[in-house]
A and B are shown apart, each in its own frame.
Chain A
Amino acid sequence: MIPALAHVGKNPERRPQRRRSLARRTADVVGRAIADLLQNEDHARASGLLQSLDPRVRLATVLVMAVTVSFLHTLPTLALTIIATMVLASASRVSVASFARRVWTTAGFFAVLLSAPAATGWISPGYELLGHGALSITAPGVLVASRLILRVVAGAGIGMLVVWTMRWSDLLGALTALRVPDVIVATLAMTQQQIVSLMRTVENIHLARESRMLATGSTAENRQWVVGRMAFVASKSLKTADEIYDAMLARGFSGHWPTLRRMRMSGRDVLWLAGLVAGCALVLGADRLIAK
């Protein structure tokens, strides 16, 4: 347990309903985000199905499944894909409940928001299921919105699952192997470390304020303080970026980012890819049949 995260409870939302200060709430949110990142590292170390595959094959899996999902039109095949991602999560030692919650509360939530207008008679006129007129919920609208939501959740689910089960260094190795330019790989390499570092700064800033506050403060005061701290964090991140670049120069950085990572595909990886392509082709075929 990281000492800085000691204040982050398992279910902080269930604490007694007392108004908590902005500083405490923000520190908890940032703390949970850091804890999530560290938990991802644990997922990536587990000995599951996805973790056992070559990182390039895992990236290819995302690509193949994302393309497949984008061509699916029927709700049963989209639902089947979502179920497949859950089975994959389970086989990769990721808690299915936690996986489903995180996918639906992020991608699912925004998909519902974005697709809501499509469910109305204004965008999709047709048989009215609820209400009347432009704001009514129509049968074709529900179909369109459901398709969009399921498609987003299926696509985002597989993307998130692969990222959770892949160490950052493996992801960078896969990108290098796939000939992604050095500058992009270098930027990504620094990103995660610096994001965590800045998040810890933000968390400590809020905890420091919390420790010195006698009251929770008014909304206006909190707003003013947050804006000031945002400026500080932005300025600190620029300074840190300069220092990192100095550190890179000091170790001879010349614009190239060679690594020791070498990847080898095994028979198991080839089998997986073949099975994946065959499975996706089958689902696409079934989708066409159902659509007819």
Chain B
Amino acid sequence: MSELSGNRQDAGQSTTAQPQTPEPSTATTVPGAVPVPAFRLAEVHQSYRPGVESLADVTLQIASGEHVAIVGANGSGKSTLLKILDGLVFPSAGTVEVFGKALTEESVEEPAFRAEFRSRVGFVFQDADVQLFCSNVLDELAFGPLQLGLAEDAVRERVDEVARGLRLEKLLDRAPYTLSGGEKQRVAIGAVLAMRPDVLLMDEPTSALDPRSQVWLLEVISDMKRHGRTVIIATHDLGSAAEFADRMVVLSEEHRICADGTPDEVLDQRDLLLEVNLIHEHAHRHAGRAHQHPHAHGHSHQSE
């Protein structure tokens, strides 16, 4: 029995051009049993400095296979929440569980827990430059699988597959600093996908992407959805969030969860979105007439 007792996926064969996203195994699911959520957070508070909270009283449960968008203005605590989910930052108060097991500083230090946790939860950072620390793209893609202790052939297979899926074959021997912003982001995502995580955490993944690459990313996420993977994305781009997410969690500028529902339910709450600084009143002229309407950054441009 593994340390993390949720549904673990087996390595399968890819049938699409996208990186391999095998079906999750159901071997550990007992018929009739309540499925173990991917994450459960209870009354989580986090502050980097005394008296200044970056997250306040966050209680949240995310089921396996859910696609969740964490939306909020800059500084609302989205990145901190993702880092907590990835065991990089630990809450000042409250509890976090991953696949039914406590996620604490101590548990992350346990080798068996750590190995499985890292193999099941992948994190794409906001700044690709931070995430690309190897000397070339090949090493970057191979880093995670090698850390998992996979055999060299298996690592090469994963690297080839991700490189094919993300159109990185011609970049494999390039140094990351010679790549464009979009290429870096693709490598950063590929480096995480090569670990075949069950849960993918992404921090503002569309911020450095051109429109074509944004569409490509949405296809990658849709592919993950088809294969039952959990995807949690922090963004303030309501347009792309509405496109990929089944559920939207809104963080206020006071670092609290102030809405949690389907994208339609959340996007209908115009006053709330104005209050949390996700949309603003935008005045401009159409055909010579002054015109005012709520405006969201990203794809969406909602007219009343």
Contact = CB atoms under 8 A, between A and B. Distances in A.
Interface of A: 37-38, 41, 167-169, 172, 189-190, 192-194, 196-197, 240, 243-244, 246-254, 256, 258-261
Instruction: Pick from B139, B176, B178 the residue with the most CB of A within 10 Å.
Output: B139
A259 B177 contact: no
Contacts of B195: 251-252
Given A243-B125, A260-B139, A41 B175 contact: yes
B142 interface: yes
A44 B108 CA distance: 41
Interface in B198-235: none
Contact of A246 (B83, B148, B176, B177): B83
A187 to B, nearest CB: 10
Instruction: Pick from B88, B138, B195 the residue with the most CB of A within 10 Å.
Output: B88
Enumerate the 8 nearest inter-chain pairs by beta-carbon distance, A residue then B residue, closest first: A252-B147, A252-B118, A169-B135, A196-B177, A169-B136, A251-B144, A250-B123, A243-B130
Interface residues of B, number: 39
Contacts of A197: 129, 177
Contacts of B118: 249-252
A52 to B, nearest CB: 15
B47 interface: no
Contacts of A168: 135-136, 175
Given A38-B178, A246-B88, A253 B155 contact: no
B280 interface: no
Interface string B83-115: 100101000000000000000000000000011
Interface of B: 83, 86, 88, 114-115, 118-119, 122-123, 125, 127, 129-136, 138-139, 142-144, 146-148, 152, 155-156, 159, 173, 175-178, 191-192, 195
7 contacts: A189-B139, A240-B130, A243-B127, A248-B133, A252-B195, A256-B147, A260-B139
A274 B146 CA distance: 36
A252 B148 contact: yes
A37 B130 CA distance: 19
B175 A192 contact: yes
Given A251-B118, A252-B119, A252-B195, A193 B176 contact: yes
A47 to B, nearest CB: 14
Nearest to B130: A243
A258 B136 contact: no
Nearest to B142: A260
A254 B119 CA distance: 13
Contacts of B142: 259-260
Contacts of B177: 37, 192-193, 196-197
A260 B138 contact: yes
Given A172-B135, A189-B133, A193-B177, 4 more contacts: A169-B134, A250-B125, A252-B148, A260-B138
